[in-house]
Amino acid sequence: MSEADLNKEKQYNKWIVVLSIAIPLVVALLFNVKINAELPIFLPPVYAVINAITAVVLVIAVVMIKRGNRQMHERLMKVAIALSVLFLVMYVAYHMTSDSTKYEGSYKTIYFFILVSHIALSIAVIPFVLITYVRAITNNIERHKKIAKITFPLWLYVAVTGVIVYLMISPFYA
């Protein structure tokens, strides 16, 4: 890795720190903002599908890189990032315009374990995704591979548990 690439990575690290703190804070703040508006579509099934597609895209991206198709891997990872951003925007929009739904089922302990782990890891995965991406675009492939081995299962868990949370709570939507 060249000195220029290392310097580029260091410059990106400042943004990674800022975004890793700002995104969860902004989401938390926006959760307290209520807008009296009706969305044109009921978003929870839409963003559950986005989570499902994200999970599939992540798996295919790993298969592509293992097959040596770096270009397709890069494209798929950009799609996964875009899907995650789209999910987040829709999730916040829904919670700004709708009251939270209470889980009323028999599996409360399981539901809350999945929900809490999903939320905690969705926050924790932000810097991992950003660092992994920066190491790829700065051509630090060896370090990219090392952190990708951590990022992939975390991100996949968040995507899959997002779908599970939706499936568990969907019977209780008003």
Q: Which residue has the tokens 């000195």?
A: 3
Q: Sorting pLDDT into bands at 50, 70 and 90, what band is 59? A: very high
The CATH code of domain 3-28+42-172 reads 1.20.120
> Cβ-count burial of 25 within 10 angstroms (0-12 exposed, 13-18 middle, 19+ buried)?
exposed
Q: In this structure, are residues 1 and 139 in contact, taking their beta carbons and an 8 Å threshold?
A: yes
Q: Is pLDDT above 90 for 66?
A: yes
- Say what the pLDDT of residue 18 is: 94
Distance CA 151, CA 163 (A): 19
Distance CA 154, CA 132 (A): 12
Q: Sorting pLDDT into bands at 50, 70 and 90, what band is 10? A: confident
* Cα 158 versus chain centre, distance: 6
Residue-wise pLDDT for 113-122, tens only, equals 999 999 999 9
Distance CA 103, CA 125 (A): 25
- Say what the pLDDT of residue 5 is: 65
Q: Residue 81 corresponds to which tokens in the numbers above?
A: 């990032």
Distance CA 99, CA 112 (A): 18
Q: Residue 52 corresponds to which tokens in the numbers above?
A: 């499902």
Residue-wise pLDDT for 70-112, tens only, equals 999 999 999 999 999 999 999 999 999 998 899 999 999 999 9
Mean pLDDT for 54-61 is 98
Residue-wise pLDDT for 120-164, tens only, equals 999 999 999 999 999 999 989 999 999 999 999 999 999 999 999
- Say what the pLDDT of residue 49 is: 98
Q: Is pLDDT above 90 for 1?
A: no
Segments making up each domain of the chain, as ranges: 3-28+42-172
